Amino acid sequence: MFYHKKQLQYFTPPQRPDPVYAMKMQELVGGSFGEMTVMMQYLFQGWNCRGPAKYRDMLLDIGTEEIGHVEMLATMIAHLLDKAPIKAQEDGAKDPVVGAVMGGSNPRDVIMAAMNPQHAIVSGLGAMPADSVGFPWNGRFIVASGNLLADFRSNLHAESQGLMQAVRLYEMTDDPGVKDHLSFMIARDTMHQNQWLAAIEDLKSEGFEETVVPKIAYQYGKKEHSYQFWNNSEGEQSAEGRWAKGQSIDGKGEFEYVANPQPIGPEPNLPQPDPRLHGTMASPAMQQVSEAGANLIDGISQVVKGAGETIKRTITGEQ
């Protein structure tokens, strides 16, 4: 169960509104790696967690913190949208020199043309659950697989991309309020990047495995292909990396570089389709014979089914 405090975890208002920047900042709210993603991902992982209590508790701690991050960003976006231009050329009048020269491209008009139109029409100058091009957040952005190592790696990836996006947005503005606000979020993302690295280490020190399902993968997988690098692209620069030689990271094999990979499988040889689906067969003649046959079988099947139903009625005593 959840509770809310009225104050924000952290907040510095922007020095001045900037509706175009508000549109960009939506990426941190509803983008693939925005705060809605990490919030939902950590909450669902926590709710579905069947592992040790400390992981579940930790997931719900951070998931709950992230709800507050969505709140902080939504508040920032509402401030940035304040006084957003609603109508073309409205301020040309107040700034006659610029207005006179510019016609339809005075500064406010440029801003109005470039902002997310839904910030005015749909949300009335509020944040939306969407990214910087207006595409809505959706549930396929998150994962909670039940396997904590796989999921902590997903969390590490999400925080890595998210941190980098926050840094990019930090570089895109000179507004000291926005910069201060983002510097708190960058700090938290820094913690969270470290947190998932630590959590992966912790799983190992607790005796859980270091790579995902290694014993099973080793048992089920064809061992001769489990540590081969296939060079499917011309040139051999890829032979220079750690992945091409030496012991595999899971310690169970040796990397091998396959410089000229060749197929092991046969040419595909698909069976002919059911004629009732009218797919194209290997020849027109085959198609005609097949379709005739299908009609015949269909007729016989009706007759026999009638017999079957008589038997059924006998058994069940049904009329």
Nearer residue to a second copy within complex by CB, 289 or 309: 309
Told to check if 15 binds a second copy by CB under 8 A, we report no
Closer residue to a second copy (CB): 114 or 289: 114
The closest alpha carbon to 73, from 206, 171, 162, 143, belongs to: 162
Work out whether 290 is an interface residue with a second copy (CB under 8 A).
Answer: no
Q: Per CB under 8 A, which of residues 69..98 are in contact with a second copy?
A: 70-72, 74-75, 78-79, 82-84, 86-98
81 close to 17: Cβ distance less than 8 angstroms: yes
* Binding of residue 14 to a second copy (CB under 8 A): no
Q: Judged by CB under 8 A, does residue 299 bind a second copy?
A: no
Total number of residues binding a second copy (CB under 8 A)?
229
| Residue 214 contacts residue 250 (beta carbons within 8 Å) | yes
Coil, helix or strand at residue 264: coil
**SS3 call for 192:** helix
Binding of a second copy at residue 224 (CB under 8 A)?
yes
CB of 293: closest distance to a second copy in angstroms? Answer: 14
Tell which one of 22, 35, 38, 141 touches a second copy (CB under 8 A).
141
Residue 256 pairs with which residues in a beta bridge? 228
Instruction: Please report whether residue 177 would count as binding a second copy according to CB under 8 A.
Output: no
Q: Is 101 in the site for a second copy (CB under 8 A)?
A: yes
Residue 311 as a binder of a second copy (CB under 8 A): the answer is yes
Select from 43, 178, 296, 319 the one that contacts a second copy (CB under 8 A).
43
Tokens of 304: 């026999």
Determine if 133 is a binding residue for a second copy (CB under 8 A): yes
In the bound state with a second copy, the residue whose beta carbon lies nearer, of 278 and 293, is: 278
CA 312 to chain centre: 53
Check residue 132 and report its DSSP letter: T
* The Cα angle at residue 285 between residues 279 and 290, in degrees rounded to 5: 55
Cα 20-25-29 angle, rounded to 5 deg: 140
For position 218 contacting a second copy by CB under 8 A, the verdict is: yes
Minimum CB separation of residue 294 from a second copy in Å reads 8
State how far the Cα of 115 lies from the Cα of 132, in Å rounded to an integer. Answer: 10
Sole residue written with tokens 């509104």 = 17
